[in-house]
Each structure stands twice: as structure tokens, then as C-alpha cells.
Structure 1
């Protein structure tokens, strides 16, 4: 049987992993459940009790190594849908996508593609794109870009026009769009995709 404190810690860890794809630090757990970050020894003892009770597991050595018992180590946060066409409103959904051993979850996220603006890159509607969190990208990278703080889109980025950030589709029916740099915020860089046939 677990104590109320252990229950709060378990719930917080489960929710944190679901949102971020990796486990929280002891200090984050303490803050998250409303106790002093100086109480990490209490948090640590509670986690070890939850491991002994079979509710949590340590899945590797080192930092951020807690997982819910019986779950996969490779859960990525599914953050919503990304436009590969007309930008759509950015909405964060609290779901995860289990990719097994394909990628490590920390620092990565998944988006479902809507639209056809990246078809010549082989990115089709319904695909899941795997992205690395990043605030900067190199010339020609495919990025998740937030335009005017509310429209998220997946495009190739170009800095070739002076004082402009250009988002370039991979579809001959669509034209690139150039923006002043302050209007575009990079959220991540595309690293791969998953296509599920159902």
C-alpha cells in the first residue's frame, strides 16, 4: 500500500513523462507536488518505495532514469497536428506515441502531418514527423515553425533573402513565403518520420 505522498509523486511522474517523454528530476518532482526542493531525500525514499511496490522502475543508470512500471522507455509526446499546407492553429494535446527503440524520447517530439505542402520530400498527410526540440536551424533544414505565435507549419527554412526568414514548401503548387525574423519562431527540426498503414 502506498502513502498519499507516494501517490502524489507517482501521479506527477506519470503525467510528466506523458507530457515530456522523459522523467522529471527529483527537484522537479518536489516542486511539482508542492514541497520544498530541499526535500529531495524524502522524494528519493518515496520513489524507492514505489519501485519496491512495483509501480515504478529504474530503466538506466544516471539522470532522469525513472519510468512507470511496465511502460516503454521510448515514449514521445504527441504535441498535436502540424500543417503541411495552410497553417493551422497550434494546439498541444496531452498524448504520447510509443516508438519503441527507434528513437530516444528526451529532447524529441512527434507531430501528425495535415496537408500536402511537403509531398516532394516524401512527407505525406497522416505521417508522423519526429522532431528534435530546437530554437535555431540551419539553411535548408526542415523545421516546425510558429508564425505570428499561433500558426504552426512544417517547411524547409531559408535565410537567403536579406532580413527575411523564408518558409519553403516542397510542393510545386505552393509558393515560398518570406517573413520578418520576429514573426517566425522555430520549435524544432525534422529528423525523421513514421508512416502507419492502417
Structure 2
């Protein structure tokens, strides 16, 4: 499976998702979701069928692929931060799919995972049926930084997500972090939609 590498200012559909919205160093995605392709089935297994083994295996493949990429090796994040779930959603699902992905990537890259750096403070319904505007509205004020961490010494964090659709969640996280710290952020997403 190919690695989709997107430098923030490059002329690509994934990078264009964030143009003028937030500062990102780079975006990597492993799978491209298209109607009825295997990538969609893999993500569905992880997210809705509780098949964490599939998610972990694909995330490890993603990690191996990242470690064969010179740009990534030269500019690896200091920590991987999975997109958090609201506690109620975590209780319903039983696990955080972004955390499973981060752990799989970490196994192959050696980058430590910080699971509690970000807190999801508002519960919102699934965004799968929302349009771009509705997703942006539902992503406002969703996250807070955990006060027990001081990010002053960190230079670079990798935000890990399961899928990038409109970029609203990543934008909300980046804005939350950048309000307090001028840290470099990159995105590692298992999948993206075009």
C-alpha cells in the first residue's frame, strides 16, 4: 500500500484541506478511502466492528512505511498524540481507534505515545453524515490541553487520526495547541478521503 506524503504547502488535495486554516509541518496518510475499496473495509473493521487487531496490523505497516521515508526520519515528531474520544464515546466503543493506530505506529518508529495530552471536553454526535460546514461547527471548542503537561520543551508533535475528511477535527486540535504553544505539528492519519 502506498504512503501518501503531503507537505503542507504542496499542491495536493490532502494538503489543500488545511490551506489557510492551520499551520502543519507535514501530513502523511497511509490509505486513500474510496467507495467500496479495501481501505474503507479496513477502517470499518477497526472503527465499527471492534477489530483492533486489523487496526494495529495496518498501523504497524504504516509505521514501517514511515521509517522508509527519509523526510519523516529526518523530522520525526517527539511524541504521537492520538485524537481523543469523549469519555462517553470511549465507554460506548471500548477503545480509541486513533490510540490503536498511534500504538501501532509507535511499535515501528519508537516514537512514544501521549494518550492524555489532549482531552475531548464536549460530546458530539458522529460526523459521518455531516457536510463540511456542519463538521466545522461541531468541532469548535471540543478539546482542551491537559494542564499537567508543559509543552515548552517540545518542538514537534504528531497528531494521529483514523481518517481525514474535512480536516475539522485536526484544525480544532491544532488551534487548541497553538493558542498556548507555538509548537510544530504534523499529522499521521491512517486514511483520508479525497
**Higher gyration radius (CA):** 1
Query: Structure 2 length normalisation: TM-score?
Result: 0.21
Larger relative contact order (C-alpha < 8 A, sep ≥ 6)?
2
Query: Structure 1 length normalisation: TM-score?
Result: 0.20
Q: Identify, as 1 or 2, the structure richer in strand.
A: 1
Q: Identify, as 1 or 2, the structure richer in helix.
A: 2
